[in-house]
Structure 1
Amino acid sequence: MTDRAHRDGCPSEAGQIAQVDYLHGVADIPFRLGRPEDLPSSLAGLMSAARPTQKAARLLADADPSDLTELAAAADAARGVLEADYGETVADDPQESESNRHNDLAFGIVRCTGAPLPLMVDAALHALSGILDLTERIGTGLADEDWNDLLSGLATAVVWPSSANAGAPWERHTDGQPDSRPDARTRPPQLTGAARPDDALRRWVRGHHVFMVFAQCCATALRCLRSAAEQDEVDSAYAAARAATVLMKASRGALQYAGDSTNDEYVTEIRPTLMPPVAPPKMSGLHWRDHEALISALAAARDCWDTLSSVAPELVEEFRSALDTTYAAHRGVCRHFVGDSSPSLLATSQSQRSAVGVLTQFRDRRLGLMPPGRQSG
């Protein structure tokens, strides 16, 4: 699926991605995002900023997630109705590191000055179209749970901002408790064996696009959690924490999707894009501003989970579990491709730590941001 002709896009964005021409064959680029630091930090601010997205949200929420053709048509129609104003290309941003700039370049991401919330919703629809386009053609190797969580996360990024006090879309309810997955009927189409050259790279790039959307939306939900908890608005805090949990589970699905390839496919299609001369020189998987915004929001919301512990301890544990399994998924992808002892290709020449070891350390630090005494083993 391609951008519609009535979108002129950000000026000069073509020059930003000229160095990675191979991306045009694997994803619909540019993939436009705003700056995560500019997204709303309260539920009231979120719903106000999301007013222009309401029609698009309704179109997607009404689609059947088990019918990929219907879902793809709804995503396309929703993006057409939204008509996000991208504004100008962000240039000379003092809050952007060189590593982030090169990460964006490597994945065809262009930062724009338009209203950040509609930009995030547009990016979610863009990412959903990319996933469905590939999945309808060749299927997916994802487990049912990962596929369902992935779809729920994308729906949440589109629908939740304009109805922030409601449950996440496509949820089933059992005994009054919302379930973060679509209806159990939803099953991902199995791999067909009709893969084309660079399909592994397509999953890799498009999966990263999905993850950046989830990082932005989850960071926003955590900021809203903090705002509501500080004002003793328990219902609003619960709604924000519920959305954050759905998005954290979905992040696991996005990582699994990006790494859904064989070792041979990794070596021939993905690995060359992580090395010179293809990879930008300062590219680093550890310094993406959307992920950094998520980590900052996690740290800022640390004490706010205590507000929920007395009224919804199961939700606090569910978020902790989602956080844990997301890092486990990331470690699993690294282990699958490079083993337990190899450093990341994107690590500095001085670093001898294994990629899996680094991610294990990060996992322990992130779980340490949850309330004391509730850490899993």
Structure 2
Amino acid sequence: MTPSPTSIDRVVLPTDSTIPATRSAEYDTYFRISRSDDAHAWSVSALTVVTAITADLPRSTLNNDSRLRLLDALAVVVGDAAAAAAAVAAQERVSAPTAAPTDHLSTGQDDRTPQAPNGAARQAITRWKKGHHLFHLFVISMNSRLSAVLDSLATEQWSDLADQLTELGVLYAGATESMRYASDFSPEIYRDFVRPSMEPPWLEPGFSAVFNRDHDIMLTGVKVVRTALKSAELSGVAADSARKLWKSQAENRRAHQLICQRFVPGGDSLLQEHFDSTGQTN
């Protein structure tokens, strides 16, 4: 049975991947994202998302290669979540009891999605939002590794660098497959239900993925790492891992373009349509 949009559990993401973004709160509300510095809450939420995606994957139209790439990246996220949970448990064993944390899941308006008219629309909006949850989890794991790459370069830890670049490539490929999973429904459902759910009266005009602060931080980090790697003399293994990472990034861009073209052939984004209708320039 496909859950209704209001029954989709929120995903918890760390607050330290934030930048000043004008409408990032609206983005988080629509995609049912909460922010918290509670590592345990993040790890539990991450595993919940992974479980839900894994259970639904056999019902998706993703081919075997896509599923394998997604599962490889899921394994990295599960490892990160397990490590975070273990660190919290170790800290709790040596720390004095503290006051109960505040409810990080409370947010004002709880859902900004119209009532799905049928089962296909319910499945579509569930995949749309859960797939974005998974995309964010991949991005969060990538952000940590991008910082680690710079540390390894500075200390010339070439083996660690190769491992980090390899995992970044796996996560980038997983992010691509999470986009395919999130859009695994017909263009007609996107046109008639999903796209309108991101327009007035449900949201302010001009809703856009550019309000995704985690992704913005990741893109900035990738640029910094690419520049740093160009000026470094990498060993054979690290150089090969770097090439695979950039190949995964290129595939991610191509896949996103194809998804956009499939849903809105030759059309503009909601943000561009808003700019056009108001005479603004982006």
CA drift of 1:351 comes to 5.0
Q: Which residue of 1 aligns with 2:6?
A: 24
- Cα distance, 1:36–1:296 mapped onto 2, change above 3 Å: farther
- Give the whole-Å Cα distance in 2 for the aligned partners of 1:142 and 1:260: 8
Higher relative contact order (CA 8 A, sep 6+): 2
CA drift of 1:124 comes to 2.5
Q: Which residue of 1 aligns with 2:69?
A: 149
CA contact (8 A) 2:134 2:178 kept: yes
Map 1:176-195; keep pairs closer than 5 Å: none
CA drift of 1:135 comes to 3.5
CA contact (8 A) 1:34 1:119 kept: no
Question: Stretches of 4+ moved more than 4 A in 1?
Answer: 160-163
Is 1:99 the counterpart of 2:23? The answer is yes
Is 1:301 the counterpart of 2:281? The answer is no
Q: Deviations over 1:124-171 (max 9, x none)?
A: 2122122134335xx1100212111112112101215777xxxxxxxx
- Give the whole-Å Cα distance in 2 for the aligned partners of 1:154 and 1:283: 28
- Cα distance, 1:337–1:24 mapped onto 2, change above 3 Å: same
- Give the whole-Å Cα distance in 1 for the aligned partners of 2:236 and 2:181: 34
* Structure 1 segments unaligned to the other structure (5+ residues): 2-21, 39-94, 164-194, 353-357, 359-377
- Give the whole-Å Cα distance in 1 for the aligned partners of 2:151 and 2:194: 41
Q: Secondary structure at the match of 1:349?
A: helix
Is 1:321 the counterpart of 2:241? The answer is no
TM-score if structure 1 supplies the norm length? 0.58
Q: Which residue of 1 aligns with 2:97?
A: none
CA contact (8 A) 1:207 1:254 kept: yes
Structure whose residues are more often helix by fraction:
2
- Cα distance, 1:282–1:121 mapped onto 2, change above 3 Å: farther
Is 1:338 the counterpart of 2:264? The answer is yes
Residue 314 of structure 1 aligns with an amino acid whose one-letter code is: D
Map 1:164-183; keep pairs closer than 5 Å: none
- Give the whole-Å Cα distance in 2 for the aligned partners of 1:284 and 1:244: 25
Q: Secondary structure at the match of 1:264?
A: helix
Is 1:266 the counterpart of 2:165? The answer is no
- Give the whole-Å Cα distance in 1 for the aligned partners of 2:17 and 2:36: 13
Q: Deviations over 1:21-61 (max 9, x none)?
A: x7314x22x221112438xxxxxxxxxxxxxxxxxxxxxxx
Q: Secondary structure at the match of 2:192?
A: helix
CA contact (8 A) 1:308 1:316 kept: no
- Cα distance, 1:227–1:162 mapped onto 2, change above 3 Å: farther
Equivalent position to 1:33, from 13, 26, 48: 13
How many residue pairs align between the two structures? 240
- Give the whole-Å Cα distance in 1 for the aligned partners of 2:129 and 2:249: 22
Is 1:311 the counterpart of 2:236? The answer is yes
CA contact (8 A) 1:284 1:347 kept: no
CA drift of 1:337 comes to 0.4
Q: Which residue of 2 aligns with 1:5?
A: none
* Structure 2 segments unaligned to the other structure (5+ residues): 84-118
Is 1:247 the counterpart of 2:247? The answer is no
Q: Secondary structure at the match of 2:68?
A: helix
- Give the whole-Å Cα distance in 2 for the aligned partners of 1:258 and 1:302: 28
Q: Which residue of 2 aligns with 1:67?
A: none
- Give the whole-Å Cα distance in 2 for the aligned partners of 1:236 and 1:161: 20
Equivalent position to 2:134, from 204, 207, 210: 210
- Give the whole-Å Cα distance in 2 for the aligned partners of 1:260 and 1:120: 26
- Cα distance, 1:205–1:161 mapped onto 2, change above 3 Å: closer
Q: Which residue of 1 aligns with 2:105?
A: none
Q: Secondary structure at the match of 2:37?
A: coil
- Give the whole-Å Cα distance in 2 for the aligned partners of 1:23 and 1:98: 25
CA drift of 1:281 comes to 4.8
- Give the whole-Å Cα distance in 2 for the aligned partners of 1:197 and 1:348: 24
CA contact (8 A) 1:121 1:157 kept: no
- Cα distance, 1:102–1:255 mapped onto 2, change above 3 Å: same
TM-score if structure 2 supplies the norm length? 0.76
Q: Which residue of 2 aligns with 1:129?
A: 51
